[in-house]
Amino acid sequence: MIAGYIKAENVSQALEALDSSQPMARILAGGTDLMQKTRATRQKKNNDIVFVDIKAIEELKGIRREGDDLIIGPAVTLDELMHHEMIAAYAPDLIKASGYVGSMELRNRATVGGNICTKNPAADLLVPLLALNARIEVADLNGRREMELAEVIDGRFKGFGRRTIITAIKVPAAETLITGYRRWTQKSMGRSYLTAMVVIQPAETGKLAVKIVMGGAGLWPGSFTEIVSPDTVKNIEKRKTFCQTLVQDKLGAAANDDTAYRKQLAWVLIYEALEIALKGVK
Q: Which residues bind ligand FAD (CB under 6 A)?
A: 26-34, 36, 54, 74, 78, 100-102, 106, 110-111, 113-115, 117-118, 123-124, 160-161, 165-166, 191
Q: Which of 183, 210, 178, 171 is nearest to 277 (CA)?
A: 178
Nearer to ligand FAD, 123 or 210 (CB): 123
- CA dist 237 and 271 (Å) reads 11
Output 100 or 220, the one with its CB closest to ligand FAD: 100
Give least dist CB 142 to ligand FAD, A. Answer: 15
Side chain identity at residue 137, one-letter code: E
The count of other CB atoms within 10 Å of the CB of residue 234 is: 15
Residue of closest CB approach to ligand FAD: 114
Got the DSSP string for 206-219?
T-EEEEEEEEETTE
Element (H, E) at 66: strand 63-66
Shortest Cβ distance from residue 10 to ligand FAD (Å)?
13
Of 118 and 226, nearer to ligand FAD (C-beta) is 118
Smaller CB distance to ligand FAD: residue 83 or 240? 83
CB of 99 to ligand FAD, least distance (A): 10
Cβ nearer to ligand FAD, comparing 117 with 243 = 117
Min CB(221)–ligand FAD separation in Å: 12
Distance CA 73, CA 122 (A): 21
Q: Which residues, in sequence order, are CB contacts of 22 under 8 Å at separation 6+?
A: 162, 163
Question: Whole-number minimum distance, CB 29 to ligand FAD, in Å?
Answer: 3
